[in-house]
Amino acid sequence: MRTLVRSCDAEILIVGGGYAGFYTAGRLERLLRPGEAEVVVVNPRPYMTYQPFLPEVAAGSVEARHAAVSQRRHLCRTGPGWTRT
């Protein structure tokens, strides 16, 4: 059994890592001081699909890797285990 040690008093839970959840978590990372609150994003996938690029991906003018944004890479200050299924 693992025991989680919290370094802050507040926890902010964001349900869904789509467009709104991804940008909300990123904005909170910029606004909150380190240790002020822990931001947790609940999402079954470690990436966000940028849907405006999907027609270009289907047409072959944009590679599929450009339509998927890694949340782990871009949300650096969110605590470990930020995705939970």
| 6-62 pLDDT, tens digit each | 566 788 988 888 889 888 999 999 999 888 888 888 888 888 888 888 999 999 999
DSSP assignment string, 17-84: -SHHHHHHHHHHHHHSPTTTEEEEEE-SSSEEE-GGGHHHHHHTSS-GGGSEEEHHHH-TTSPSS---
Q: Is the pLDDT of residue 83 over 70?
A: no
Whether residue 35 lies inside any domain: the answer is yes
Query: Does a structural domain hold residue 1?
Result: no
Q: Is the pLDDT of residue 84 over 50?
A: no
Phi/psi of residue 54, each to 5°?
-60, -40
Whether 76 shows a pLDDT value over 90: the answer reads no
Q: Is residue 41 part of a domain?
A: yes
Q: Does the pTM exceed 0.85?
A: no
Would residue 85 count as lying in a domain?
no
Residue 32 lies in a domain: yes
What per-residue confidence (pLDDT) applies to 57? 92
Owning domain of residue 51:
12-74
- Residue 25 domain-assigned? yes
Task: Give me the mean pLDDT over the 50-79 stretch.
Answer: 86
